[in-house]
Structure 1
C-alpha cells in the first residue's frame, strides 16, 4: 500500500513538492469560481481537503481502494467553530470529512483501485451538487476494447431540475438537484425492482449527462475498468458542454 501524499500546484504560479511513488495518481483541478472541500468514504487520508479556485493538486492514492469521493460546496465555520457546507455536508462539524454518508444532493465519484487497474464512474443516484469529469491519461480498457474513455457530467441540472427536486440554501437560492428517489422515497422512483427503467425525472438527467449513472440499476455505460493509466485527471466545474 502506498502512502498518501499531496502535491499542490497553484495556477498560474506552480509550486511543486516532492512525494513518494504510487501506482495510481489522481490529479485534482478546481476551475470553479469558488473553493470546494473534498470528502471520501472510506477515507483516502486527505488531511488538506480544501481546493481553492485554479488550484491543481497531485494526490497519490492507496494501491487498494474502493469507495466514493465528493465535493462539498460553500463551506463555513460558525462562531462555535462548527464547520458545515451547503451541499455534500458530512454532519461532523470538521473540515476533515471521511467514513460518513454526505447530505444529498451530491455528485459521487466512485472508484475501485486494485494496483494499476482502476474502475471509475460518476454517480448521480443521489442528485447533483457540482459538475465534474474524470479523464484517464493513457491506459487501455481491461477487456482490450480500446483506450480508457473520459466520463463527464458537465451540464448543470439547474436548467432542468423540477421544482419538487430543487435543493435551496438558507437564502432560497438553488444549490443542487435532488434525485426523485431521495425526495419521494418510493419503489417507483427508487427502482426497487428487477426491470428498472428511466422515468420522467431520470430521463431528463440522462439526456444531460448520458455517460453518468443516474439511477439504481443504471449500467449504461458500464463502470469502466482501466489498466496502466499514467494518472486520472479529476476536474471540478469543467467547461459546460465539453469534456476536458
Structure 2
C-alpha cells in the first residue's frame, strides 16, 4: 500500500497552463476539467502516472452562468466550464500519454481538430525538447476551412476518407501541407506520427502556453 502511494506522488506530472494571449481563454483539460484564464493567468493540474488519451486545449468566446453551464465559440465541451469530454473543433490540442513504453511520456500538438489559438507545449524538467505551433493559421486559413474563431481541419468540413484517414491508405494532402508548412512539429493529419510525436522521460513536468 505505502509503496504505491509513494509512487503516485513521485511520478505524477504537473501541467502548468498559462494564458499569454491578449484575450481571455477558457482552458479545457481531460483529465482536469476547465478554468477561465484572463491574460497572464495560469492554472496547474496534477495528472496521475499511466494516464493516456489526455489533452489540454484552449476555448474562446465562452459564456458560462454561475452553475458553469454555457457555450464556447471554439473548443466547447458539451456546454460545461468543467470539461468531462473533449472539445469540439476547431481547437488546437496538446495531447499526451504518461509513463508508457520504456517509461516514456508521449506528447504532441495536434491540428487534426483544427486550430484556434497558438500554443507551446514544453517540458519544464526532464531535459527533452518542447513543441510549438505559433503561426497565424487563423489569419491565413483557406476560405473553405474558415470557422468562427478558428480554422477547421479538412476532415471536419469534408468528412471524406482522404482527409479523415478512416482507412490505412491516406497520406498528406494540400490542406494538411498548409498546416504542416506553418507548424512543422504539429500533427497535420491523422497518420502524421513520424514527425509529430515526441517523448520525455516519465516524471517530467510540463507547461502549456496559449499565445507563446
State if a TM-score over 0.5 links the two structures: yes
TM-score by length of 1: 0.74
In angstroms, what is the RMSD of aligned CA positions? 2.5
Moved over 6 A (4+): 78-81
Q: SS where residue 39 of structure 1 aligns?
A: strand
Residue 97 of structure 2: aligned partner:
112
Q: How does 1:131-142 map to 2 (within 5 A)?
A: 131-139=118-126
Q: Are 1:97 and 2:83 counterparts?
A: yes
Instruction: Tell me the TM-score normalized by structure 2.
Output: 0.84
Query: Residues 153 and 222 of structure 1: is their aligned pair in 2 closer, same or farther, counting only changes over 3 Å?
Result: closer
Farther-moved stretch of structure 1 (20-29 vs 218-227): 20-29
From 31, 37, 46, give the equivalent of 1:60: 46
Tell me the alpha carbon deviations over residues 86-114 of structure 1, each in whole angstroms, 9 at most, x when there is no partner.
100112x331111x232211111111012
Aligned with residue 150 of structure 2, among 172, 176, 198? 176
The structure whose residues are more often helix, as a share, is 2
Secondary structure of 1:102's match? Answer: coil
How many angstroms does 1:58 deviate by? 3.2
CA contact (8 A) 1:153 1:212 kept: yes
Extract unaligned runs of 5+ from structure 1. 3-19, 140-146, 169-174, 239-244
Q: Unaligned stretches of 5+ in structure 2?
A: none
* Aligned positions, number: 203
Please give the secondary structure, in 2, of the residue aligned with 1:65: coil
| Equivalent residue number for residue 30 of structure 1 | 19
Q: Which residue of 2 aligns with 1:213?
A: 187
Residue 199 in structure 1 maps to residue 173 in structure 2: yes
Matches within 5 A, 1:47-86: 49-66=35-52, 67-77=54-64, 82-86=69-73
Partner deviation per Cα, 1:127-156 (whole Å, 9 max, x = no partner)? 0011101111232xxxxxxx4111110112
CA shift in 2, pair 1:132/1:79, >3 Å:
closer
Q: Is the 8 A contact 1:22 1:61 kept in 2?
A: no
Task: Call closer, same or farther: CA 1:229–1:118 in 2, change over 3 Å.
Answer: same
